[in-house]
Amino acid sequence: MDTRDEISEFLGSRRAKLTPTEAGLPDFGGRRRVPGLRREEVALLAGMSAEYYKRLERGNATGVSDAVVDGVSRALQLDEAEHAHLYDLIRTANAGAHPQRRRQPARKTQLTAGMQQTIDAMSTVPVFVQNGRLDFVAANQLGRALFSEMLDDPQPPVNAARFVFLDPRAQTFYQDWEANTRQIVAILRAEAGRSPYDRQLSDLVGELSTRSDLFRRLWGTHDVREHRTGLKSIHHPVVGDLDLTFQSMDLASDRGLQMLVFSAEPGSASHGRLQMLANWTSTKALEANSGR
């Protein structure tokens, strides 16, 4: 990843999305040569000289302070995820002159025994654990049943982005598949800012860009997003439609991993179907253990 290009393209894409009216600037009419704000307008809103902002948007982030990042974020009305992404890009650019700072710990690919025991004990809700690249790391029994089609992928490591973009079953599994494609790309884009030297992440982005025109187009939007809470509407091949809320948590005992816990509203049709899936999963496990 060329960090200078990433900074330039990210800031340019955010600037293009914001109109003078949305930014609180007077609109004097006339034809504007660029979509959204001009660089000079961003500089004015951020409280810096136009030349300084232009250098930053060209990717020259040397010595840029947190206060400058905050000012630009306010000017462009960045949300929390976008602000964090810009900070990560600036941090990476400033570390570029110090190669020893580039080293990053290897991405975890398995849980500790204690955490696996913990999620196995959570028998009434599906639990799915992934790393920042969206590689599958672990699940409890119900989580494996819920995402059985994804986990059926013979190519290791199983990866949510690869499933969504390259496996035709994903378009049936996710009831709002298009929204999931945008979410997946935004999550990976944020992770690329946090982990710019992750070779496996770069390889994954390269593979998806080569094999999926949609991924390549969405990657070019530079949208970023955190994956904290939301609703997943899926069509499970065994029990049918499920509307599940999810909560995600970073694991303090397994740094770099994220645990997603899914649940259905009590008394809803999805709650009943999730219980059916739990019963079906338990039956299949008993049959396997008994050798039938």
AA identity, residue 209: S
Query: What pLDDT does 28 receive?
Result: 64
Please give the tally of structural domains in the chain.
Answer: 2
In sequence order, which residues have a C-beta less than 8 Å from that of residue 261 and are 6 or more positions away?
A: 122, 125, 126, 127, 246, 247, 248, 249
| 119 and 226, same domain (yes or no) | yes
Residues 119/140, Cβ–Cβ less than 8 Å:
yes
Residue 153 maps to a domain: yes
Whether 257 contacts 130, CB under 8 Å: yes
Q: Among all chains, which residue has been given the structure tokens 């580039």? A: 102
Identify the CATH number of the domain in which residue 123 sits.
3.30.450.180
**Residue burial 212-223, b: 16+ Cβ < 10 Å; e: rest:** beebeebbeebb
Helices 80-95/66-75 angle, 10° precision: 140
Among 60, 78, 102, residue at a domain's last position: 102
Determine the Cα–Cα distance for residues 244 and 218; give it in Å rounded to an integer. 25
pLDDT confidence of residue 100: 47
**Residues whose CB is less than 8 angstroms from the CB of residue 34 and which lie 6 or more positions away in sequence, other chains included:** 16
d(CA 201, CA 197): 8
The answer to whether residues 211 and 92 belong to one domain is no
Contacts of 186 (CB under 8 A, 6+ apart): 81, 223, 224, 225
Q: Which amino acid is at 162?
A: R
Question: Tokens 């299949």 — which residue?
Answer: 284
| 278 and 179 in a common domain | yes
Q: Please, what is the end-to-end C-alpha distance for the chain in angstroms?
A: 52
The letter for the amino acid at 28 is: F
Note whether 31 and 118 are same-domain residues: no
191 and 280, same domain (yes or no) = yes
Per-residue pLDDT of the chain (292 residues; tens, 9 = 90+): 688 999 999 999 999 999 998 999 887 666 777 778 999 999 999 999 999 999 999 999 988 999 999 999 999 999 999 999 999 999 998 876 554 445 555 556 678 888 999 999 998 999 999 999 999 999 999 999 999 999 987 778 899 999 999 999 999 999 999 999 999 999 999 999 999 989 999 999 999 999 999 999 999 999 999 888 999 999 999 999 999 999 999 987 777 899 999 999 999 999 999 999 999 998 877 766 766 5
**Cα 130 to chain centroid, rounded:** 11
Same domain membership, residue 153 and residue 272: yes
Domain limits for position 192: 113-290
Angle 138-143-144 from CA coordinates, rounded to 5°: 75
The whole-number pLDDT of residue 256 equals: 84
